[in-house]
Structure 1
C-alpha cells in the first residue's frame, strides 16, 4: 500500500515489510504510512515499530464495521413485511442498539493525527472522526495533516482535555461507536470516561506502555493505577493483559455496563486490548465470577487461580456467593506443596477468555482474502500473531515457560515440541502463547508438569546432590515420578505458525526501537481532568488528559 522506506528508522523496524516513506521538502518531513501522510515541522517523532499497532487497529475496525452491517441486515430481514409496530419501550431499546448507519470514531489522544487519518481512508463506512489533543501545537499539526490528506469531510481536529472530551459525549446521541485510547504510559485515568462515551455494542481500544508497572516491578504503583497487585513472573505479560481487562470491566460495571474482550495482545513494549462495551445490569453482575486472585510460589513459580465469586442457579433463583477456598498449592505450613517455598498472593485479574475466537477467525479470513496490493504493511506479522492467538487455549488463564521450569531443577531443556508431545500423550491439552515464544498454556495438573521435569532431569542424569538443599529444585527432585511420561512425537505438537513459516516474534534490537522518553513540560497525570492553563508550546504531546505531548503518542 505504500512505498519502500527511505529513512533508517523505517528500514530497521523489524516488521519484514518496510512500508513507511519519508520525504523532506523545505524543512518539512512527510511520512507516509498506509494511505495516510503526516507532515512534521522540525524533529520527526515517527516510530515505524508502532505501524503494527495501527495496522492491527485498522484491521479490527474493518471487521467491527462488517459485523455491524451483518447484524443490521439480519434485523431488517427479521422486521420486513411484519406490519407490527413495536412497543415504545422496545423501540427505544432497539434504537440504543442500532447497528445501522456509519460509525463515529474518537481518537482521544491523537498527537499527529496519523491514526485518525488512516481510519478515514482505510476503514469503510466512517461518518466522522474526532481527532482530539490537549496541545495547541498538536491540533495545528492535525489540521495541516487533514488538509494534506484531503479528508476534511471526515476528520475534525479538536483541542481539549481527553477526559473532558469523553465526558461531554456521555449522552446516548453523542456517544462514539469506536474509541481509541493510546496514551504515553498508563491509560488507567482514561478508563472511567472511556467506558461512558462508547455506544452500545461499540468498541473500546486501549493501549498501555507502562509495562514495568503491569509486570510487577512496582506492585504499589500497579495497585494505585489498576487496583491490582502483581509480581514478576514469566507470564507477566498475560498477567498485564488480564489486569488491564479487569480494570476496564470494573469501571464499566459502575454504570451497569460490561465488556466482551474481542482481542488482547502483548507485543513489543505495550499491551493492546479491543473490547466490546454493552449495557445490562444482570450481565454486569456476572463480572464477579470472571475475576480471581492468583497464588504464585516464590520458589518454583507454580500458580493457582482462586475465584472470588461463584454463581448458583436453581431454576429461576440466581444467587452470587463468595467462593469457598480450596487451595491445592499450599501445604499445612502455608508453603508450596511442590518446593516448600513461600507463596505470594496477587491480583485480582480477569480470568475469563481474553479473545473472541470467532472474531479472531474473521480477522484471519480477512487477511487471507485481501489482494496482495491492498495488504497492510505488517501483513505477515499480523497473520502470525493472530494465528497464534487463535490457537491459544482460551479457557486456561496464564502460562508457564518450559525453560524456566527445567532451569529450576538444573535440567537441560529438550525441544519444546517434545514437552508439548509429553503433555498431549498424557491426554491433556496444550498450546503456545502469543506473549512468549516458549510459553505453554495447558490444562495439565502441576503434579504432571513437575513429573515431566523430573523425568527429563532423570534422563539427563541430573543429580539432586548438586543442588543446594534449600533450593526449590532440590525439593522437587526429591519426589517420585507418579505419572507416565512419554516424549514420543505427537502429531498435534507442531504449531501452525511453524508449519507455514509465519512471522511472529519481532527482533527488538533495531535503532530507535521502543518507547521514546516522555516529553518535557507535559502535565502530570495526577492533574488530568483538572488542568486550567493554556497550552504549553514546549510540550510534545501526550500524558493525555493532562498536557499530552505533541507528536509522540504515535511513537512511544
Structure 2
C-alpha cells in the first residue's frame, strides 16, 4: 500500500514489535493480544466490501426523496457527534400557535437531512488492527467503536491508536474517530438499537450468541459482517451442536463449506425475523478455515414473513451424491392477496431413484442467492484498480474472480471426483464434463469453496447419465458386491452425452490466467491460539517452565 508521504515507522517501545498491515501499525508483545496474520484476507475483503457499501449508501441517499426512517436509541459511543438520538425527529402533527390555515400547495415538505459519515462497530477488536484500518483507509468515517471484553485488549487498542497517531498529522486526524470500548458486545448492541451503519463481528469460534443483538444494533439498510470459525460444527462433524447453536442440522457432504455459509445466513435471518427485519446477502464466502458473510439488514414485516420461503430442508442420499431441496414454506399470491403456507413435500421418494439407498434429511439451510452479482463485480473492479491498497490482493482477487462466475440461484453443488469415486471410474476432465452438461441444455459453473465443484441446475439424474456414458467409453473393473455405483451403472442412460467442448465450459479465471485457489504464502497459515497462551518457543517456555509452573506464574 502507498503510505502517507514522509510517514516512516517509528521505533516501538521496549519489549514490543511493530506489525504493519495496510496503513495500520500495531504493537505486539508475544501473544498478549490475539493477532492472526492469515486473517489479512478477511480484513482486506471487509475493507473492499465496506467501500462498495459506502458508494451504494451514498447513491441510495441521493436518489431517495424522503428522509430515512431510522430511529436510533440514545447512546454515548460516538461522542464526536453532536446528536446521538433520533436521526429525524418529526414535527407535531398539530398546527403551531399563530399558524394560519394553509392548503396542500403551501405545505413545505420535510427536508431530507444530509448523509452522515458511516458509524462502525467492531465487536471483538483485540489489538484494534481492523478498527484502525477502517479509520485510516476508509473515507467519511464518523466513528469506529473498537470493543473488547479483555482489559489487556482495551489497553492494546488505546496504545495502538496513540502509536498510529504519532506518525503524522493525517494519521492522527483519522484515528481520532476510533473509540475504545470495554464490555460485553452483546450488552453494547442491545443498548444501541439501530445505532451503527456497519457492524463487524469476528469472534474466536461461533458468532451464534451475538446474532440477536447484531440484527438490532445495525441501522436500516446497514451492513452486517459476520465471521464463523467453528467449521467442524458447521460442516457436520457435530450435528447436534450445530442444531443448538444455529438451528440447523448439517450433512457430512462434499458441499459442507457452502452448507456452512448457508447455515449461518439462515441463522442470521431467523434472528432478524424476531424484530420484523430481514437480510439481503451481498457476498458470503468460505475462505481457508472460516466463513465470512456480508449482509444488509432491513426492517419490513412483510418481507420478514417470507423467511420460510428462503430456507429449505435438504435430502441427502447416503449411497451416492444425489441431493434435493425442499422449501420450508411457500407464498401463494391471488390477485392482491398473498397467503403463506407450509411447503409441499416430500420432494423425494423413500429410496433414491439413482442408487436405491435411503435419504438423510438436514437443514433448514438458506437456499436463496448468497451473492449480489452487481456488488461482486463492482468490488472486483475496485480491487483491481487499487491493487496496492490490499496486502492480500492475490488471494482476494482470486476469490472474487471465482465468486463472480458462480450461478447465484443454484444452492449447493456436486463434486465430480466424489461422483466418479462412487462409480470407481477415473473422473472426466472438468472442461469436458461441463461441456456435456451445457450441451444437455443446462447451466453450469464452478464454486468458490471447492476446486472440484460442479454447480448446476441440471437434476442429479442427468449428471449420472453423463457419467454412465463416460464409463461406457472408459470401462471399469467388475465389482462383485452390490454398491451404489453398481446399481447406478446397471441402468442404461436416457441421455446420450455430447462431449463437444464449448466456450462456456472454461472458467473466466482460466481465460484470464488467474489462479483460482492460490497456495498459502507460508506454513501454518490457519487458526492461531487464543490470546494469553504462551507462544511455543518463546516467552515463558523459553525459561523451561512446566505447564503447572506457567499457570502459577500467570496468576
Q: TM-score range by the shorter chain?
A: 0.7 to 0.9
Residue 367 (structure 1) aligns with: 383
Work out whether 1:503 is the aligned partner of 2:491.
Answer: no
Residue 206 (structure 1) aligns with: 226
Residue 75 (structure 2) aligns with: none
Work out whether 1:46 is the aligned partner of 2:62.
Answer: no
Residue 233 of structure 1: how far off its partner (Å): 0.3
Q: Secondary structure at the match of 1:359?
A: helix
Q: Using the alignment, how far apart are the partners of 2:155 and 2:200 within structure 1?
A: 20
Q: Secondary structure at the match of 2:504?
A: coil
Q: Secondary structure at the match of 1:132?
A: strand
Structure 1 residues 349 and 99, CA gap change in structure 2 (3 angstroms): farther
Residue 188 (structure 2) aligns with: 165
Q: Is the 8 A contact 2:331 2:340 kept in 1?
A: yes
Residue 305 of structure 1: how far off its partner (Å): 0.1
Q: Secondary structure at the match of 2:517?
A: coil
Q: Using the alignment, how far apart are the partners of 2:10 and 2:450 within structure 1?
A: 33
Q: Secondary structure at the match of 1:473?
A: helix
Q: Using the alignment, how far apart are the partners of 2:365 and 2:64 within structure 1?
A: 36
Q: Is the 8 A contact 2:420 2:426 kept in 1?
A: yes
Q: Using the alignment, how far apart are the partners of 2:143 and 2:487 within structure 1?
A: 62
Deviations 1:503-541 (A, max 9, x none): 3324359423211234579xxxxxxxxxxxxxxxx9xxx
Q: Using the alignment, how far apart are the partners of 1:503 and 1:46 within structure 2?
A: 27
Work out whether 1:137 is the aligned partner of 2:152.
Answer: yes
Residue 342 (structure 2) aligns with: 322
Work out whether 1:235 is the aligned partner of 2:255.
Answer: yes
Deviations 1:83-133 (A, max 9, x none): 8634xxxx6xx98xx781101000010000000000001111100100000
Q: Secondary structure at the match of 2:64?
A: helix
Give unmatched runs, 5+ long, in structure 2.
4-8, 69-104, 166-173, 534-539, 541-555
Which among 449, 457, 468 is matched to residue 454 of structure 1?
468
Q: Using the alignment, how far apart are the partners of 1:129 and 1:181 within structure 2?
A: 13
Q: Secondary structure at the match of 1:452?
A: helix
Residue 456 of structure 1: how far off its partner (Å): 1.2
- Give the TM-score of the pair, scaled to structure 1: 0.83
Residue 543 (structure 1) aligns with: none
Q: Is the 8 A contact 1:2 1:33 kept in 2?
A: no
Which among 327, 335, 352 is matched to residue 336 of structure 1?
352
Residue 65 of structure 1: how far off its partner (Å): 0.7
Residue 434 (structure 1) aligns with: 448
- Ranges of 4+ aligned residues in structure 1 off by more than 6 Å: 21-24, 76-79
Deviations 1:360-386 (A, max 9, x none): 11112212333x5x4311223222211
Residue 23 of structure 1: how far off its partner (Å): 7.9
Q: Using the alignment, how far apart are the partners of 1:324 and 1:65 within structure 2?
A: 41
- Residues 180-259 of structure 1 aligned to structure 2 (within 5 Å): 180-259=200-279
Q: Using the alignment, how far apart are the partners of 2:502 and 2:532 within structure 1?
A: 55
Q: Using the alignment, how far apart are the partners of 1:385 and 1:265 within structure 2?
A: 8
Q: Using the alignment, how far apart are the partners of 1:99 and 1:406 within structure 2?
A: 59
Residue 535 (structure 1) aligns with: none
- Residues 109-148 of structure 1 aligned to structure 2 (within 5 Å): 109-148=124-163
- Residues 411-490 of structure 1 aligned to structure 2 (within 5 Å): 411-463=425-477, 465-466=478-479, 468-469=481-482, 471-490=483-502
Q: Using the alignment, how far apart are the partners of 1:211 and 1:337 within structure 2?
A: 32
Deviations 1:12-46 (A, max 9, x none): xxxxxxxxx99876221110000000001234753
Residue 22 (structure 2) aligns with: 34
Higher relative contact order (CA 8 A, sep 6+): 1
Residue 99 (structure 2) aligns with: none
Q: Is the 8 A contact 1:467 1:473 kept in 2?
A: no
Work out whether 1:59 is the aligned partner of 2:48.
Answer: yes
Residue 374 (structure 2) aligns with: 358
Which among 325, 328, 351 is matched to residue 308 of structure 1?
328
Q: Aligned pairs, how many?
A: 484
Structure 1 residues 84 and 449, CA gap change in structure 2 (3 angstroms): farther
Give unmatched runs, 5+ long, in structure 1.
4-20, 522-537, 539-556
Work out whether 1:107 is the aligned partner of 2:96.
Answer: no
